[in-house]
Amino acid sequence: MSTTFQLDTSTSRAHPTPQPMRRLTIPAIRRRKVDGVTAEPIVMLTAYTARQAQLLDAHCDLLLVGDSLGQVIYGLDSSVPVTLDMMIAHGAAVVRGSYHAAVIVDLPFGTYEASPEAAFATASRVLKETGAAGVKLEGGAAMGETVAFLNARGVPVMGHVGLTPQAVNVLGGYNARGRSDAEADKIVSDAKALDEAGAFAIVVEGVVEPIAVAVTKAVSCPTIGIGGSVECDGQVLVTEDMLGMFERVPRFVKRYEDLASVISKAAETYAAEVRSRTFPTPEQTYQPR
């Protein structure tokens, strides 16, 4: 038995509740790919809050606390300004709101690139303060030594190649990568380097499809596609994108719902009832006994 925090839907508060330990583990995720084949694709979505995590948990193998929260939650132009404190606060909330999925937290820009030692200081703090199962970092062969360093010291690492949002200032935008032979070769070699360094999985983002397929075939660990290929070993999307919370829809996103319209309509109805004094009714007020 282990004590976890379960969200009480009747109060919206998290309470410590003894539960059997059933959360998916990183080795279990890694073992999904056997001899280059993943019979059961890996499902990953982003989550930034406890309630969101609770709603997604039963359906996902992995919940990613992505630094995309910079744009999605905080309205920033990119993920570059995201701080470690932000990631830890949201990571802890997602762990509290989940029970089944393994939670992975992005290491934000500037907190791990300087050296393997700097990366370990950041990653160890993330794991201690959130309870997450692992971390994700961007970069290819240049991060190989860091991934090996972290892995050897008990920190599971998910890699990230192709379109790497933290490098948007170098890349010059969010365009698809791998259109030239040189860039395609580099993406594949970067993935191989991360795999050899011990990454338990690799996100392959925003690359032309043949490159995503080539990466998936070239590495022994599972690949998680986002704007990659259906042949990747799993898929991830930003949850708010697939729920239709924003007007702009990236090419690689399928909208499964239009929650923005639902929320806007509910707010419109509420506002009309407040202005017409039809809300609250006696059912929503406390009357004398």
Strands (E), the chain: 2-8, 13-19, 33-34, 37-38, 42-46, 62-65, 102-106, 134-136, 157-162, 201-205, 223-226, 234-237
Amino acid at 45: L
CA 18 – CA 11 distance, rounded (Å)? 18
Amino acid at 32: R
CA 59 – CA 82 distance, rounded (Å)? 28
- 138 labeled part of a ligand binding site: yes
**Is the four-CA dihedral 251, 40, 210, 204 of positive or negative sign?**
positive
Contact present, 191 and 140 (Cβ < 8 Å): yes
Q: What is the DSSP string of 145-169?
A: HHHHHHHHTT--EEEEEES-GGGHH
- 68 labeled part of a ligand binding site: yes
Contact present, 57 and 40 (Cβ < 8 Å): no
- 136 labeled part of a ligand binding site: yes
Find, among 233, 167, 203, the residue nearest to 31 by Cα. 233
- 106 labeled part of a ligand binding site: yes
To the query of whether residue 231 is one of the catalytic residues in this protein, the response is no
Find, among 97, 84, 171, the residue nearest to 129 by Cα. 84
Annotated catalytic residue: which of 40, 183, 205, 257? 205
- 57 labeled part of a ligand binding site: no
Contact present, 46 and 91 (Cβ < 8 Å): no
- Which residues participate in the annotated binding site for 3-methyl-2-oxobutanoate? 67-68, 106, 136
Q: Which residues are annotated as a binding site for Mg(2+)?
A: 67, 106, 138
Active-site residue numbers? 205
- Binding-site entries: 67-68, 106, 136, 138
